[in-house]
Amino acid sequence: MSLLSMFRRRDSAPVARERLQVLLAHERAFIGKSDLLAILQEEIIAVIAKHVSIERERVQIKLDRGDPISILEIDVEVPSAAAAAAIGEARPMMAGD
Amino acid sequence: MATVVVVTSGKGGVGKTTSTAALGAALAQSGQNVVVVDFDVGLRNLDLVMGAERRVVFDLINVVQGDAKLPQALIRDKRIDTLSLLPASQTRDKDALTAEGVTRVIGELREKFDWVICDSPAGIERGATLAMRHADTAVVVTNPEVSSVRDSDRIIGMLDSKTVKAEKGERIEKHLLLTRYDSARAARGEMLKTEDVLEILSIPLLGIIPESEQVLRASNLGTPVTIGNPNSAAAKAYFDAARRLRGETLVVKVPADPRSFMGRLFGRRAVA
């Protein structure tokens, strides 16, 4: 390490402190209420499935924790009318087999 | 009236076992009747750090399952006669440790000793929850490092919800033991400072154990640092922490071992 780079080096401890403060503020709110994301995923799927036929695996739920806001991202793949009809038809047929 | 202490952290490798041995020894050296209990079933190590690995006959699981009586499993320390060890077993079956069995053993230990110090395994699984279950007081061992602080925060949450005291609506006492602390690096902004960790975790400080070669030397030799090298900085910090556990109020200092000439030059430049 050169003498210059030694003076130029930025302190990393304040970064650690800030990252921890943001992270823990969120974790304290979410952990303990069991797995918030898993619960959200189940309930959101249930609501959507009431009205649209969807496949469980095609639902993505992400939580991006940040300061000052967090983003809850729900990505639901809704099949086109034809595909939905195919899914709808396939099911009774399989049940009938 | 015995005090049950759990030494816990969530993260592994931060110094739980070393601190259990040193705090237990320090309390025993002040005349208290102490037992240190290894809850790390399958990966026992407290016996090794205490230098009693060749004297283990029966263990915690044997007592829990009724295969041995408690006095048969307790190993009396050869250096300090008020210090005993209850080793963990090396069985891979962690389910052998039952909640009822642990309750009974802790109850029996409470009658025999002033201090029952439980060395928790890492993690937040069954072993860790059983180790903290009956604690009156928790020593949360934390390194000034992000993953350790985060895991300590998780453990503090569990102490407030999963212990018998918490379930009864009572308060479990929690103390922070900051280990592997390097004041020079903290002063240079390279390491979280004590105040940072205290502010984030907001539990009272039990002590600051400086990063010290004496700690590794102690485990190499199987002698808790407070017995093997009582004048070292780490030992002084553990003695102070033990006195605080007993309720004394002491100013927290970071003891330092005398430094080499080069070390002193380096340290001075760093602090300035």
Residue with tokens 């237990």: B24
What is the overall mean pLDDT for chain B? Answer: 92
Residue B188 sits at the chain A interface (C-beta within 8 Å): yes
pLDDT confidence of residue A83:
62
Residue B227 has pLDDT above 80, yes or no: yes
What is the overall mean pLDDT for chain A? Answer: 72
Backbone angles phi, psi at B76, to 5 degrees: -80, 130
Task: Select from B146, B153, B157 the Cβ nearest to the Cβ of A16.
Answer: B146
Rounded CA separation A36/B142 (Å): 27
More confident residue, B44 or A87: B44
Residue B217 has pLDDT above 70, yes or no: yes
Contact predicate B178/B208, CB 8 Å: yes
| A19-33, B38-52, B127-141, B220-234: least confident range | A19-33
Residue B224 has pLDDT above 90, yes or no: yes
Rounded CA separation A63/B211 (Å): 38
More confident residue, B100 or B96: B100
pLDDT confidence of residue B256:
78
Q: What is the mean pLDDT of residues B201-207?
A: 95
Residue B223 has pLDDT above 60, yes or no: yes
Mutate to test the interface with B, among A1, A10, A17 (most CBs of B within 10 A): A17
Residue A7 has pLDDT above 80, yes or no: no
Residue B147 sits at the chain A interface (C-beta within 8 Å): no
Q: What is the mean pLDDT of residues A31-55?
A: 74
Radius of gyration of chain B, Cα coordinates, nearest whole angstrom: 18
Nearest CA in chain A to B147: A20
Q: pLDDT band for B272, please (50, 70, 90 cuts).
A: very low
Half-sphere exposure of B108 (CA within 13 A, CB side): 16
Write out the two tokens for A36. Answer: 């918030």
| A28-32, A59-63, B90-94: least confident range | A28-32
Interval B44-91: pLDDT, tens: 999 999 999 999 999 999 999 999 999 999 999 999 999 999 999 887
Residue B186 sits at the chain A interface (C-beta within 8 Å): yes
Most confident option among A41-50, A56-65, B79-88, B258-267: B79-88
Kindly report each contact of residues B160-163 with a partner whose C-beta sits within 8 Å and lies 24 or more positions away, as own/partner.
B161/A32, B162/B129, B162/B132, B162/B133, B163/B132, B163/B133, B163/B134, B163/B135
Interval B150-189: pLDDT, tens: 999 999 999 999 999 999 999 999 999 999 999 999 999 9
Q: Spell B127-156 as b/e; 16+ CB within 10 A means b.
A: bbbbbbbbbbbbbbbbbbebebbbbbbbbb
Residue B270 sits at the chain A interface (C-beta within 8 Å): no
In this prediction the ipTM stands at: 0.79
Residue B247 sits at the chain A interface (C-beta within 8 Å): no
Nearest CA in chain A to B193: A13
Work out how many CB contacts closer than 8 A connect A with B: 39
pTM for this model (two decimals): 0.79
